[in-house]
Structure 1
């Protein structure tokens, strides 16, 4: 069957060409410029460059945030009425204390209020931590003189997904944590990770989505350099890596096609 033989040979030749073309594309090298953080080719080792950071975007409390509130007073027994159970986590280990804060801390309800023992509901949503602390202080002063209120946000959590060594959810104890702090907690990006990081940020108006290019040294002077509570960082795989991950699938596909060619040859 000469026609069948001709089709088989042409098909096999085209198949070989496509296979090697796919193999070349899947093993393409990644440029070093696509991997280096804060790349600044104009900066020499002898120079020092200062980046003026813009004003940090102040975080404002939202429902479901958790506060640690401590009331101090010359009369510890009187202050204990306001502290409730929240301060019993001081002698616990790190992980136990973190979990305890969620159980004994003061969580903002859907109305943006906390319920402080003896005082009652105080609306703090929409305020900064400092402003919320002042509001709580004024409420406590009505019942306890010469007191000092210390309020802290204990629900500063971020989630890091994708091409990092240890993806997961992390708690940050730093009011000015940067994107590199977060990436450091996750063990750094893998070599397969895109340096153009997608960030999903929760705001009272809804979820914002934007990208931060870790290769751009000008990032050090931008507001996006800093993390906010509840940020989600997603690191996508770079294109060449995606192609390589599909190589095994291509191999299976071409193996099946090769079997078909053998069958055609057998039928000749």
Structure 2
């Protein structure tokens, strides 16, 4: 009888150990198949402006009074507060691309910017500015570059990007990185395109991601990080350990009583 109890105890312990240690180190790494070989470079895609995009547009001159004539009056105060981090402020003081593809600027008037890149838009506004000013400098940035990151990340939600471009890993960084329960081989990217909604399945452990269209995120992209299949058991493993401990203790007591 004592040997039977000992076998049951040993089997329970080994089972728990095997189940709780099934998460291999390789499952927690990015780019498992990458080496020290030289990699090809990926051209950063040029995002073209669409209806509803919101832009920060400023005309800078040496004379503040002249500058005010060419700019949104509330923009100066907004810059000092939360223009680039507060979405509601962005829409209040930014310039939205209209349904017809135009923005309406003080003095410069109505300019068609749809389907232009940020640089092309900046050049267009700069060219128009030079018709009025010799020292005017046009500054153009995206205010509506936001991505939504959900699932197995530490800080899910809508994230605002303040740069001209954003890689998928920078996006995950804004969300605090993935959790220990994340399946790095199964991340879904949902992208809005002029043709409709596009979905891509991404493997964060495969170096081919570095050369794919999913590597650079676009405004309004959504990332969904799926959980690993063993998440439920991993979350419950502390309780299972307690139950096994209780069972083992009970068996030892029974063994002691029956001796």
TM-score, normalised to structure 1, is 0.72
The residue correspondences of 1:47-126 to structure 2 (distance < 5 A) are: 48-85=36-73, 86-93=75-82, 99-126=88-115
Q: Which aligned pairs between 1:180-191 and structure 2 lie closer than 5 A?
A: 180-191=169-180
> Would the alpha carbon gap of residues 79 and 245 (structure 1) be closer, same or farther in structure 2, given more than 3 Å must change?
same
Aligned-residue RMSD, C-alpha: 2.8
Q: What do residues 155-209 of structure 1 show as CA deviations (whole Å, max 9, x unaligned)?
A: 1111001111111001112223211111111111112112121111122222211
- Relative distance call for 1:82 and 1:187 in structure 2 (3 A) is same
Question: Quick check: 1:134 aligned with 2:127?
Answer: no
Aligned pair in 2 of structure 1 residues 96, 161: CA closer, same or farther (>3 Å)? closer
- Count matched residues: 220
CA drift at 1:211: 1.7
Give matches, 1:21-40, under 5 Å: 29-40=22-33
Deviation at 1:99, TM superposition (A): 4.2
- Give unpaired runs (5+ residues) of structure 1: 1-22, 248-268
Shift of 1:111: 1.6
Report the secondary structure of 2:176's partner residue. Answer: coil
Matched, 1:235 2:225: yes
1:153 to 1:217, Cα distance in 2 relative to 1, 3 A: same
Q: CA deviation at 1:243?
A: 6.7
Q: Is the 8 A contact 2:84 2:143 kept in 1?
A: no
Deviation track 1:229-265 (CA, whole Å, cap 9, x = no partner) reads 1110001112222577899xxxxxxxxxxxxxxxxxx
Decide which structure has greater strand share: 2
Matched residue of 1:239: which SS?
coil
Of residues 81-90 and 149-158 in structure 1, the stretch that sits farther from structure 2 once superposed is 81-90
Structure 1 range deviating more: 86-95 or 51-60: 86-95
Per the alignment, residue 158 of structure 1 pairs with 147
Structure showing greater relative contact order (alpha-carbon pairs closer than 8 Å, 6 or more residues apart): 1
